[in-house]
Every structure is written in C-alpha cells, then in structure tokens.
Amino acid sequence: MADPIKLAYFMAVKEGASYLGGLLVTDTSGIPLDFRYTEPITPTRLQSILYGKSLEPHLKEEVIQKTLLKELKTPPDLFILSATELAGGWSGEAKYPVMAVQKSQESPLAKVGDTFRAGPRELLIQLAEGAAPLRVMFANSVDAAAQEQAVVKLLEAGYHMDLAEPLERVTAALQSLVVKDA
C-alpha cells in the first residue's frame, strides 16, 4: 500500500510590524496531521532599510518557510501556498513541487478529473461535478513531468477535500495565535 499523500499548506501573515508563518500538513481529507508556526519576527528599522523591498519575500521564503520545513520529519508530497505568494517570485525547493491553488470562475470542464492547461505553469482541474474547476499554478522550479505527477495527487486529494480551504484555516489559526499572544 502506498504511503498516504501529505499536503503542506504554507501561509505567512503580517500582523503590525511582525511577520509569522504557519505550516499545516494534512492528509487527503484535509485533516491536520501537523501544524507548526513561527514566533513573530519583527525586523528592526535598520533591517527594513537594508533589505528594502526584498524584506518581505526574503522573510517569508528564506526565513519563515525554511525554518518551518526543518521541523518536518518527512517532506510533503505537495507544497501549496497562496497565489499571491507564488506571484511574488517564489522559487521553491526541488524536493517537492510548489504550487498555488485558487478557486476559479471558469465554466466546469466536461467531467471530474479533466484538466485544461492554460499556460506552461497553469492549468485547470475539475475536481467536483458541476463545480468551477480549480486553478493550479506551479512555481518555476516545477518542470512538466513534476507537474503531471502533482496533478495526479491533486486529483486524488481533491476527491475528498477542498484543496484551497486549508489555507484559510492556517490564516485563521495564525490570527488566533497573534491575538492570544497579545
């Protein structure tokens, strides 16, 4: 029996002048298997000046994400983040495919399991009968072969769960943790 698919959902939020991120690992039903979050990181004024516009991408990708991934015992099968983060130039790791999932407003595809490639790194997946297809965008590090393998796993997981929903849970959990610390 194959190992169950693990999906990692990463989200980093900015609360005031601090940044914190969370990593949720779920099974194909969306049930949490692990969740870790970082302590809030508050850049100093000097760091903000020296890093400039690269401060936020650097913090999220190089600092928060890598710190959280070090805590994982086994690498995830899919690394999913928000479309906004991916559009910011996320490079990602070669160990696992990095992608963003987003609910679309497109017309449903013919049947469940159908895919439509909208671009070299973007495609639509029909996961539920009659529902709008899910938009999937891959990072630059994911080649075509890795994309095909990832689509198979997405279809399997999407049969049981809403693939975009866990990101909302991570955001809600981080906000609740910030309120609790305050």
Partner 1 sequence: MFGRVKDAMADAAETLRQAFAGLTVVAVAPEPFLPRSHGSATLAAVGLTGLEPPVTACREMLLLRDATEGKALEPFHALLHDEAGWATWGAAAEVVRMTPLEAGHATRVAMPPLPRKAQALGRMEPPFRPIPRRQLDPLTNPGTRRLDPTLAGGGVEPGLEAMLSLAVPIRAEDIHQLPKGMWMRYSLQLVRGTGENVRNLEVLGLFRIPRKGVADLRHDPGLGRILVRLEASAVQAPRAPFILARRKDDGGLVSCFVEDP
CB of 145 to partner 1, least distance (A): 28
**Closest Cα to residue 145, out of 75, 109, 86, 94?**
94
Q: Which tokens hold the place of 126?
A: 């029909």
CB of 54 to partner 1, least distance (A): 11
Residues 50-109 that bind partner 1 (CB under 8 A): 50-51, 58-59, 63-64, 66-68, 70-71
CB of 152 to partner 1, least distance (A): 17
Q: Residues 65, 21: contact at Cβ < 8 Å? A: yes
Contacts of 26 (CB under 8 A, 6+ apart): 6, 7, 9, 32, 33, 161, 166
Among 118, 132, 169, 178, binds partner 1 (CB under 8 A): 169
Q: Which tokens hold the place of 17?
A: 């002048």
Sign of CA dihedral 157, 160, 164, 169: negative
Q: 52: exposed, middle or buried (C-beta count within 10 Å: 0-12, 13-18, 19+)?
A: exposed
Among 2, 16, 17, 34, binds partner 1 (CB under 8 A): 34
Site string for partner 1, 5-24 (x = CB under 8 A): -----------------x-x
CB of 165 to partner 1, least distance (A): 6
Among 14, 75, 148, 159, binds partner 1 (CB under 8 A): 159
Distance of CA 124 to the CA centre of its chain: 17
Residue 165 binds to partner 1 (criterion: CB under 8 A): yes
Q: Which residues bind partner 1 (CB under 8 A)?
A: 22, 24, 27, 29-41, 43, 46-47, 50-51, 58-59, 63-64, 66-68, 70-71, 112, 128-129, 159-162, 165, 169-170, 172-173, 176-177
